[in-house]
Amino acid sequence: MGPNTPESERQFIVSIAQAVGTKLAIETGTARGDTARALADVCDHVVTLDTDRRCGEKASVWQARRHHIGDGLTGAVAEDRRVTFVEGDALENLPAALERAPEFVLLDVLHDPGHVCSQVDLVLATPSVRACVVHDTLAETGDAIGLGKALLARGEGWTLIDLGERPGLGVWFRPAERENGGASSA
């Protein structure tokens, strides 16, 4: 997520990941890696995907060493080894990342509704995913216009949340998680 992401929003996202007992989180849209680092505090591992190599290079946590991380992904591992940066198109790399069976996914890249809905379809088809958050769902300008409506049209379980500081979040819990109030059923 971007460098201007309010800390309250980051904490909210992390609390959702924690509530569903996340061991592996996937994030699209790395920016400086602040949200990936925050997620790593409550998860065993975070894989963050971004098209911009500079995201990995400018974030202080990334090592320059690249390696194969499995399932067709090559990335750079953060210094604390809990975060892996994968460079490339999120839509192309997301299927391989989802094969690693994450419990939580944060989508924050290319806010075009069609692109995001393609990612959402992949996420919701992954049985291990207990919760998903989509960033900037209530934007009134730019590419994200209509993103919230597109998410609501994807089916049951989506809630749009306005924290008052940014253009909102779309939050989805797998039905069993909603019945448990977001608590992990594992």
Write the CATH number for 140. Answer: 3.40.50.150
Contacts of 72 (CB under 8 A, 6+ apart): 96
What is the average pLDDT score of the chain? Answer: 77
Give mean pLDDT, residues 50-58: 63
Greater confidence (88 vs 72) lies with 88
pTM (two decimals): 0.81
- What's the N-to-C CA distance of the chain in angstroms? 28
Position 31 scores a pLDDT of: 77
The number of domains in the chain is 1
- Which range of residues forms the domain containing residue 19? 7-179
Whether residue 186 lies inside any domain: the answer is no
Crossing angle for the helix pair 90-98 and 113-124, to the nearest 10 degrees: 10
Residue 113 tokens read as: 């509704």
Whether residue 145 lies inside any domain: the answer is yes
Residue 34 CA to residue 16 CA, distance in Å, equals 16
- Which tens digits make up the pLDDT trace of 121-179? 999 999 999 999 988 776 666 666 677 888 888 777 888 888 776 677 889 998 876 55
Position 58 scores a pLDDT of: 47
Whether residue 129 lies inside any domain: the answer is yes
Whether residue 127 lies inside any domain: the answer is yes
131 neighbors 161 (Cβ within 8 angstroms): no
Whether residue 185 lies inside any domain: the answer is no
